[in-house]
Amino acid sequence: MIDRHGRLDALPVVSFVHIDADKGASDISGLSTGNSYRGENILFTPAERVIATMTSQEIDQLLGGLEQQGEFDRKSPYDHIKSWLPPQLIRNVKAIEDGAGGIRPVGRLSFFHNYRQIKAAIETAENRTRGHEQAMLGRGFSVERGLNIFVVGSLCGGTGSGMFLDVAYALRKAYGDIENKLVGYWIISPELYGDTPSMNANVYAALKELNHYAASNTRFEACYDPQQLANISEDRPPFDFTYILSNRTATDYRVLDKNKLCNIVAHKIFLDFGDELTSVIKSQKDNFRDKLTRLDSHPRRNIQRYLTFGLAKIYSPQDRIGKMALTKVSQRLVKFWLKGIGQSPDPGLLLNRFLSKWGDSDLERAFPYRLQGMVQDNGKTFAQALKAWGIKIEQEIALIQKPDDRAQLLLQLRSETRAQFRKVQPGESDDIRGAWLTRIQKTQPQLTNSIVNEIGQFFGELLTPSHPEFSLNSARGWLEAILTQINEYQRGLEDYIQTKNGLATAEDLDNQWRSAERRLQDVEEKKGFLGVLDNNKQKNKDFQVEATQIVTNTKKLIQENFDYQLHKSALVITTEVSSFIRSLIQQAGTLSQLLTSVERNFEKCAEDLERLNTDGITGEALFSPEDANTCYLDFLPEQNEKAILIDISGQILTDKFIFIDKSLLYFLVQVTDEEKAAASSIRYLVRSPDIDDRLLGTNITATIDKIFGTQAIGSLQPVMARFLQKYPLASGNAERRMRQIISEAQPLLPLLVRDGHFYEDGGNKSEIIAFTRTDDRSSQQLQELLTRNVGISESTIKSIQNNSEIVIVNEYAAFPLRLIQGIDRMREHYDREYSQNRSRIHNDYRQTFSEIIPPEARRMEEMQDAFYACLAFGILTPQDNCYLYEIEDEYGISKNYIQLSLVWSEALEQISKAVGVANSLNARRKEIITEIQADPSQWHDLYLPRLKTFIQYVVALPREHPNYPEIGIVWGEEMTIDRAATEGILKRLWGYLDKLAKTNPVNYSKTLQAQRPATHDREPSQGEIDADIIDPRG
């Protein structure tokens, strides 16, 4: 469907339901492309799955209900299950969660228990197919009335073979209208699943049941849900068309992989409903209908309602080509992430570009400068506040004129310098430590976060695919460069701090003051010679010089403390930033290893796909690596390569990371929305992501499949030309290979079609070989190869538009199951399993199912001759529910009564398994013949009236009677247009005994005198058989 129409939803009229008792059965697709195919997820959706399990608690509840005593004739809600579930099995049933354990009745039990869920899933699936007629007609499809329902499974295990008939008849009940077609495809090859004895027994038992209900005059009855009156009573076969498949052909070509066989079935089903060849397939299948209703010519007539098929394709494996091309795209994408496209920027240039944002490329100046700028008091930085205080105090110094001014200023100076120093004084707590130093310490984390964010921001930009210098290698080179710069600055800070004596204390300030006060005292005490006025001016001048020096020294002391703390905090910032960068380098290294591993995985996948020599279906996939390269360039043309890779990256790298949209940072961080809201810090990048190469590769593959999966694969050479290039006509290789593939396309079920009691008239077969027929040279050559060299008739060859495949499909119809090669081996396993534990074999322990393999023809004829003769002559006594046959032991001492079924085919089945009974009946028949030969009056007086009575009963049987199908064997069939008249057993016996009675002339003449004119030399009319008719079954 995806190959033809691009998407599953392009055919909304197709719906799926998957039923299994194994919880994990639908978790994988089984395809080499994984769980997606050309961008489509091909796993069943939850709405399409029915996990038909039963818990241990549900089993216990069921067992309790099944074992209820009917003391007061009360009904149990489980009576509808108890009626068929073998009593011996009830106590051994466990929880049904990992399949039915290979036990067919357990598989059926899981169907009954989950019937409502299964019914709902089927109804939902059917509803999904409705209402699309107008859209489909608008797209050029022909829309017919009714549903095509395909049921596919294996009869080897317990689940499929346990519920396949119930699934069929549940569908019959819901969709039994004549316009709906129910088709079954059933795999009967135990070797694909382990080839255990129980699997062989399951297949044989399932085929026996299928054969029973496919016969006319049988009725399937079941009750699935007493509360909803889900009762089934159906006399039609379970399927309109029943395909039986093994894993090999009559020429012993074998399909060894069950996934491949399933893929072949899938291709065939698509041919049945959605392909260019559908109308041809349907027409040929309709031609089989009459033959499917006929019986074979074996003495025990066998139904022939079965089909099989074989299919092969010579094709360009578009799935494989597309997968290789998409793998190369994935590989190129990862390489783009690692190395970018066409750029290898100098890490130094990237570093300078980044540092330029800080206004100074010298980190030794940049960090303290930025930290100093962030430390403020009432909107002023430390430098601004210190300068303002210095200007203010210097202005006041300049204004002194009198001694009192000098004394007052000295007090003020002492107070203010100490106050200013207290703002930078050391201390362990905020109460003692200077305010400016506290502000530095508190601002330090803010600057750290800011620098970390800026580094993370730039790192993220370098990891953003749309960035000009994008690549993980570029980002890693830049990280190494900035870490080197940070480390150099860190060493510089450490050297600076080591050259300092630490922070000055209040004592250091006091020491400065004591020295300053002595100098000021000397100024005051100094005597002058210029007079009082001039001496005062000189003292003011000297005082101003000393006071200004005090301010300068105090500012220097304060500045040194501030700078020391600034550098210590810068060292802390540097250490934390360095640690952060190292974590980024480590994470980037891990990411590089991850991406390198993913790249290697894609490379290996591409190599594996290139070496792959197994095909998905029978035939040959014509493939070359150039096909993948051509397809790759269609997906990723060189002129748009970078833009497309950026777009792909954007779809993979969602916005689940913190800062950079569509960046490889996604793979370095895992942060919750709450954490983002609480603190949007790039520090979270240091967290290890929960992602591995497998998960990342899967995500990349899924996204790329989604983007390109529906894109048509073009530019490929037609498959006809490819085939003839690989196998040249002149060498004869083309003919040899074509014959081989046609042989492999034979029906996947080896049949003994040369059986003497099976008539094959050519109408049982259909063969189609389809390819694009044009005037193209390769097309003409292929047609000549098929018709002239291989001997294919012109009518077999069909034309299709799809030039990427040559389709060969064979169907074979109307054969009895007894012709299947290997069915006798399955029967041996069945007999052994049945004798050991018959409760595990059949789904309804009350029902008798005829053997698929009848007795040898001559022996069967002998048993039929004996049985019907004894039946007609009254040797078998009819009872309410059986025939009784009195048989003596070999010594004639004791007698036993054998019960035989009132259904003649079942009675003969019983007789075939009891050699003594068969021999005894044959002996009684011979005794009657001997008796008539000795005394012909016995013929006319006793046996002929009994024979007439029985024949009258036989020819009057209604069509719905279970013995109606045996009329032809018992009495014969009249001539029709396409069939000659036949004599039945009793007609032949009548003629034989009548002639035998005539061989004794004396006795025969006496008999004639007592009889009316004999009419035995012609077929008796119904009126001449005048005995009373009594149906022995009531």
DSSP assignment string, 51-119:
E--B-HHHHHHHHHHHT---TT-PPPTTHHHHTTS-HHHHTT---BSB--TT-HHHHHHHHHHTHHHHH
132 with 12: CB under 8 angstroms? yes
Given a cut of 90, is residue 698 above it in pLDDT? no
Pairing of strands 765-771, 797-799: parallel
826 vs 202: CA distance, rounded Å: 9
Q: Report the pLDDT averaged over residues 1007-1033.
A: 41
Show the tokens assigned to 211: 């054969």
Show the tokens assigned to 940: 């006319």
Show the tokens assigned to 485: 């710069």
Residue 784 has a pLDDT of 95
The per-residue pLDDT of the chain, averaged, comes to: 84
Show the tokens assigned to 303: 């139904």
Residue 7 has a pLDDT of 67
CATH architecture of 2-246+821-826: 3-Layer(aba) Sandwich (3.40)
Show the tokens assigned to 192: 């694909």
Given a cut of 90, is residue 212 above it in pLDDT? yes
Q: What Cα–Cα distance (Å) separates residue 391 from each residue in 156, 513, 555, 560?
A: 102, 20, 11, 19
639 vs 649: CA distance, rounded Å: 18
Question: Which residue did the predictor score with more confidence, 712 or 256?
Answer: 256
515 vs 508: CA distance, rounded Å: 11
Helix (H) or strand (E) holding 829: helix 823-836
Residue 306 phi/psi, 5° resolution? -120, 150
The dihedral built from the CA positions of residue 505, 511, 512 and 517, taken in this order, carries a sign that is: positive
Q: Predicted confidence band at 873 (pLDDT cuts at 50, 70, 90)? A: very high
Q: Predicted confidence band at 869 (pLDDT cuts at 50, 70, 90)? A: very high
151 with 187: CB under 8 angstroms? no
Question: Which residue did the predictor score with more confidence, 681 or 82?
Answer: 82
Q: Report the pLDDT averaged over residues 237-261.
A: 94
687 vs 681: CA distance, rounded Å: 12
Q: Report the pLDDT averaged over residues 818-830.
A: 95
Residue with tokens 């035998």: 996
635 vs 653: CA distance, rounded Å: 20
Residue 32 has a pLDDT of 55
718 vs 773: CA distance, rounded Å: 11
Pairing of strands 883-888, 380-381: unpaired
Q: pLDDT per residue over 732-784, tens digit each? A: 999 999 999 999 999 999 999 999 899 888 889 999 999 999 999 999 999 99
Neighbours of 495 (CB within 10 A): 9
Residue 454 corresponds to which amino acid? Answer: E
707 vs 699: CA distance, rounded Å: 12
Closest CA to 784 of 797, 766, 803: 797
Q: Report the pLDDT averaged over residues 94-108.
A: 85
Residue 957 phi/psi, 5° resolution? -60, 135
Angular region, 799: left φ>0, alpha ψ -120 to 50, beta rest: beta
373 vs 447: CA distance, rounded Å: 10
274: Cα within 13 Å, side-chain hemisphere: 21
Q: Predicted confidence band at 715 (pLDDT cuts at 50, 70, 90)? A: low
Share of the chain above pLDDT 90, in %: 41
Q: Predicted confidence band at 265 (pLDDT cuts at 50, 70, 90)? A: very high
Given a cut of 70, is residue 970 above it in pLDDT? yes
Alpha-helical (H) ranges within 686-753 are 693-708, 719-726, 733-744
Closest CA to 718 of 781, 655, 676, 665: 781
Which residues have C-beta within 8 Å of that of residue 419, sequence separation ≥ 6? none
746 vs 739: CA distance, rounded Å: 11
Which residues have C-beta within 8 Å of that of residue 828, sequence separation ≥ 6? none
578 vs 1013: CA distance, rounded Å: 128
Q: pLDDT per residue over 778-821, tens digit each? A: 999 999 999 999 999 999 999 999 888 999 999 999 999 999 99
Closest CA to 549 of 413, 385, 400: 413
Q: What Cα–Cα distance (Å) separates residue 866 from each residue in 361, 859, 918, 939, 955?
A: 114, 11, 8, 17, 20
Q: Locate CATH 3.40.50 in the chain.
A: 2-246+821-826
